[in-house]
Homo-oligomer: A and B are copies of this chain.
């Protein structure tokens, strides 16, 4: 290692070029920290011609993965190509060739994290993935090391910048979802196919990674119940505001006595909650530990240099471990067996917006329904809608109830004569207003 550590890059997109930039520009600081130079060896790209003007020499580029994965000079492979199956194969090959790996790939880690970490440990290799969750925010480190002494019982994340940007603009400007989405696409904050973001899938992947780590149990992506933001309306937001809440797409992971719940969905948070102030494309992860109480990690969730910062900070740890001779020794198998909560065990408050017949008996019917399920109202608003028919809008925030009871209520509401429409329904989290 006297020649320093050589890294191979898989992919040279936004994050990859950020990594090269940081490694080149911060040579002095990096060397000071790890005690040796770090140089870029080979870089896998799809099309060499695309990078004629880039900061990397043409002869470092290759279109053959083997030239990176089998190069004996390369000590560390950085995977920033994205995608799942191909990336998985490459990383497995790298690990089996005793190369340490840093990845920014949330899709991959959410689906195959357990497998890859095991292969890494078996090969005495490091595998780090700080950049896979919340870009530049060192939250993986915060959870796995900073709070290592604590028992984490809850994590709430704004872990998708696109949806937070959309919801922020809807709330601030009173503009509707479609319009803001279009603007976000034009500004580059949303993909031309925004499905993975707006349907909550991207956030679900990050929450699966966080929960696996924070709860020390193998959480699968399919354990996360997911609902996106496409049906959120400006009316909903207006009511939230009136009641002292903000509507955010929240990834929630809760643990009670060893049983866990995982979901991504739009939720109401009281304005006093630390996450409520997280605006625009910023990300934040709120972590509740039995001993530490409330903590939050805030920062940019994406972007070339922020994400590359996380990749290179992992690289620093890899190189330190390499030089100390302790690579691969810090990977743990989970302590706990996963047990998911049942619908009866998932506790929450709910926000519910209905349109009802504005006539005698309506309220009685509603209150009987809720009383039957032993669910009481924390807040209630009702006023007439400006329509020809006698129609009233009713907004309810319930006290804490379990999901099973709430879903029975919801189903009955849809079938009740006096209820013309169930306009919207969201969970309410984050304590009292």
Given contacts A298-B298, A330-B320, contact A29 B293 (CB under 8 A): no
Given contacts A291-B309, A300-B294, contact A141 B137 (CB under 8 A): no
Please state if B136 and A292 are interface contacts (CB–CB under 8 Å): yes
Q: Closest Cβ of chain B: how far from A378's Cβ, in Å?
A: 23
Please state if B277 and A32 are interface contacts (CB–CB under 8 Å): no
* Complex contacts, A329 vs chain B, CB 8 Å: 324
Is A390 on the interface with B (CB-CB < 8 A)? no
* Complex contacts, A299 vs chain B, CB 8 Å: 292-296
With beta carbons under 8 angstroms apart, the residue of B33, B148, B216, B272 that contacts A313 is: B148
* Complex contacts, A282 vs chain B, CB 8 Å: 294
Q: Closest Cβ of chain B: how far from A336's Cβ, in Å?
A: 9
Is A433 on the interface with B (CB-CB < 8 A)? no
Given contacts A138-B142, A216-B29, A297-B297, contact A305 B291 (CB under 8 A): yes
Is A145 on the interface with B (CB-CB < 8 A)? yes
Please state if A147 and B291 are interface contacts (CB–CB under 8 Å): no
Is A22 on the interface with B (CB-CB < 8 A)? yes
Measured in the bound complex, the distance between the Cα atoms of B293 and A305 in whole Å is 9
* Complex contacts, A30 vs chain B, CB 8 Å: 149
Is A5 on the interface with B (CB-CB < 8 A)? no
* Complex contacts, A266 vs chain B, CB 8 Å: none
Looking across the interface, which residue of chain B has its beta carbon closest to that of A334? B32
With beta carbons under 8 angstroms apart, the residue of B18, B33, B330 that contacts A291 is: B18
Is A227 on the interface with B (CB-CB < 8 A)? no
With beta carbons under 8 angstroms apart, the residue of B279, B292, B317, B324 that contacts A309 is: B292
Classify chain A: how many residues form its interface, as a range: 35 or more
Interface string of A291-319 (1 = CB under 8 A from B): 11111111110010110111111011100
Q: Closest Cβ of chain B: how far from A19's Cβ, in Å?
A: 9
Q: Closest Cβ of chain B: how far from A422's Cβ, in Å?
A: 34
Interface string of A327-365 (1 = CB under 8 A from B): 001101001000000000000000000000000000000
With beta carbons under 8 angstroms apart, the residue of B18, B32, B142, B293 that contacts A146 is: B142
Is A118 on the interface with B (CB-CB < 8 A)? no
Measured in the bound complex, the distance between the Cα atoms of B147 and A300 in whole Å is 13
Looking across the interface, which residue of chain B has its beta carbon closest to that of A329? B324
Please state if B306 and A292 are interface contacts (CB–CB under 8 Å): yes
With beta carbons under 8 angstroms apart, the residue of B279, B291, B294, B298 that contacts A22 is: B291
Please state if B335 and A28 are interface contacts (CB–CB under 8 Å): yes
Interface string of A130-165 (1 = CB under 8 A from B): 100000111001100111111100000000000000
Please state if B291 and A295 are interface contacts (CB–CB under 8 Å): no
Measured in the bound complex, the distance between the Cα atoms of B291 and A300 in whole Å is 11
Given contacts A26-B149, A145-B317, A326-B324, contact A292 B274 (CB under 8 A): no
The residues of A with any CB-CB pair to B shorter than 8 Å are: 18, 22, 26, 28-30, 32-33, 130, 136-138, 141-142, 145-151, 216, 272, 274, 277, 279, 282, 289-300, 303, 305-306, 308-313, 315-317, 320, 324-326, 329-330, 332, 335
26 CB < 8 A contacts A-B: A22-B150, A22-B291, A29-B151, A32-B216, A138-B145, A141-B145, A142-B297, A146-B310, A146-B313, A148-B316, A148-B317, A274-B277, A277-B277, A289-B309, A293-B299, A293-B300, A293-B306, A294-B299, A295-B297, A296-B297, A296-B299, A297-B297, A297-B298, A324-B324, A324-B326, A325-B326
